[in-house]
Amino acid sequence: MNFQPVSAVPRRDFLYGLGASLGSVAFSSMLAQAARQDTAKNVSSADGAHFPDAKAKHCIFLYMEGGPSHIDTFDPKPQLSKLHMNEFHRSGDEQSAMSSGKRYYVQSPFKFHQAGDSGADMCDLWQHLSGVADDLCFFRGCQVESVNHPTANYHVNTGNRFGGDPALGAWVNYGLGSENEDLPGFIVLPELAYPQGGAANWSNGFLPTALQGTPLRPKGSPVLDITPPAGISRQHQRENLDFLQQINARHAKRFPKHDQLEARMANYELAFRMQMEVPGVLNIDDESQQTLDRYGIGNQPTDNFGRRCLLARKLVEKGVRFVQVYCSTWDSHDYIAKAHGALIPTVDRPIAALINDLKDRGMLEETLIVWMGEFGRTPDNGVRGGGLAYGRDHNPDAMTVWMAGGGCKAGHTVGATDEIGATAVENVHHVRDFHVTLLRLLGLDDNRLTYYHAGRFKQLSQFGGKVIEELIA
pLDDT at 25 over 90: no
**Residue 14, domain member (yes or no):** no
Q: Residue 53: its pLDDT value, please?
A: 92
* pLDDT, averaged across the chain: 84
pTM: 0.82
Does residue 434 have a pLDDT over 80? yes
Range of the domain at 158: 53-218+292-471
| pLDDT, tens only, 458-473 | 999 998 999 999 999 9
Look at the chain and report how many structural domains it folds into.
Answer: 1
* Backbone phi and psi for residue 408, each to the nearest 5 degrees, phi listed first: -75, 165
Residue 44 neighbours by CB distance under 10 Å? 10
345 inside domain: yes
The answer on pLDDT for 267 being more than 80 is no
Is the confidence at residue 165, as pLDDT, over 90? yes
Q: Do the domain assignments include residue 264?
A: no
* Closest of 405, 415, 402, 406 to residue 372, by C-alpha: 402
The most confident of the ranges 84-88, 140-144, 283-287 is: 140-144
Distances (CA, A) of 419 to 75, 85, 107: 10, 16, 12
Residue 31 has pLDDT above 60, yes or no: no
pLDDT at 11: 45
pLDDT value of position 251: 76
**pLDDT interval class at 183 (50, 70, 90):** confident
Q: What are phi and psi of 301, to 5 degrees?
A: -95, 20
Give the type of residue at 9. V
> Could you give the C-alpha distances from 426 to 69, 159, 402, 440, 467, in angstroms and in order?
19, 22, 16, 22, 16
328 domain-assigned: yes
| Residue 398 placed within a domain | yes
Listed in sequence order, the residues at least 6 apart from 292 whose beta carbon sits closer than 8 Å to its beta carbon are: 284, 298, 310
C-alpha 359/C-alpha 112 separation (Å) is: 26
Q: What is d(CA 169, CA 186) in angstroms, rounded to the nearest whole number? A: 6
In the predicted structure, residue 196 carries a pLDDT above the cut 50: yes
Q: What is the model's pLDDT at position 236? A: 63
CATH classification at residue 443: 3.40.720
Model confidence pLDDT, tens digit, residues 216-263? 876 666 665 556 666 666 666 666 667 777 787 777 777 776 666 666
The per-residue pLDDT for 32 is 40
Please check whether residue 278 lies inside any domain of the structure.
no
User: Is 259 within the bounds of a domain?
Assistant: no
Phi/psi for 314 (5° steps) reads -65, -35
Q: Residue 228: inside a domain, yes or no?
A: no
- Residue, of 43 and 234, whose pLDDT is higher: 234
pLDDT tens digit string along 121-147?
999 999 999 999 999 999 999 999 999
